[in-house]
Every structure is written in C-alpha cells, then in structure tokens.
Amino acid sequence: MSPNPIRFTLVAGAVIALAIAYSPATWAAPSEETAPASSQIVVAQTSAPVAAARSTSAVTDAYPAYQRGVRQAASEGPEALRRYIWRTRMIHNFYYHDFALKD
C-alpha cells in the first residue's frame, strides 16, 4: 500500500495523458508544409448534376419500394410468389391473394 494513494493516481493519470499526447498517431499527422500551395477546392455537392438528373425522365415505380420483391416474384409465377411470401411471412406479412395475378 502506498501512503499517498491519491498522489499516485494523479501521477499515473498525468503519465497516461502524456503518452496519449505524444503517441505515434500525432507524429504521423501531415504537416501543412507538405500540402501543395495551389490546391483547388472541390465542392462535393453542386446543383448542376442534380438539376440535370431531374430533367431526364426518371422511371418511378407505382408501388412502394418494400413491395419490389413480392411484385417481382408475382411476375415470375404463382409458385415463385408462394415461396417468396412463405420466406418473408414474419417480416412483411404479405397475403398471396393480394399479389396473385387475377385471371
């Protein structure tokens, strides 16, 4: 036992803080001297590509996105639809007759 346990704890905390401050990660940080002086700033989000994407005719589905799998299975046939609904019964709770093709 140490006669001064609080002083030992403070010293140990200071040593750990200094070890973190002088870790190799801080040595590996790039310095500003190595950066090129004439580097250009690149803006990641501009309005021009977004406007161009909106102007093109985008295909939108008439159904919600979570129904994409069941609608694809329904287009493949009744057996594929039955298997898809059985596999995802605890997730989506779809009913066969809601998506089966009407004859």
pLDDT at 23: 73
Q: From 64, 71, 101, 75, select the one nearest 88 (Cα to Cα).
A: 71
What is the token pair recorded at 64?
């919600």
24 vs 5: which has the higher pLDDT: 24
- Burial status of residue 38 (CB atoms within 10 A of its CB: 0-12, 13-18, 19 or more): exposed
What is the token pair recorded at 78?
């009744």
Kindly report, residue by residue over 42-79, the tens digit of the pLDDT: 767 655 555 555 554 455 568 888 899 999 999 999 99
Hey, what amino acid is at 7?
A: R
Per-chain mean pLDDT for the chain: 76
The CA-atom distances, in angstroms, between 77 and each of 57, 62, 98 are 30, 20, 14
The SS3 assignment for 69 reads helix
The full set of domain ranges for the chain reads 67-103
* Residue 38 exposure: Cα atoms within 13 Å on the Cβ side: 0
Averaged pLDDT, 80-85: 95
Token look-up 């950066």 returns 35
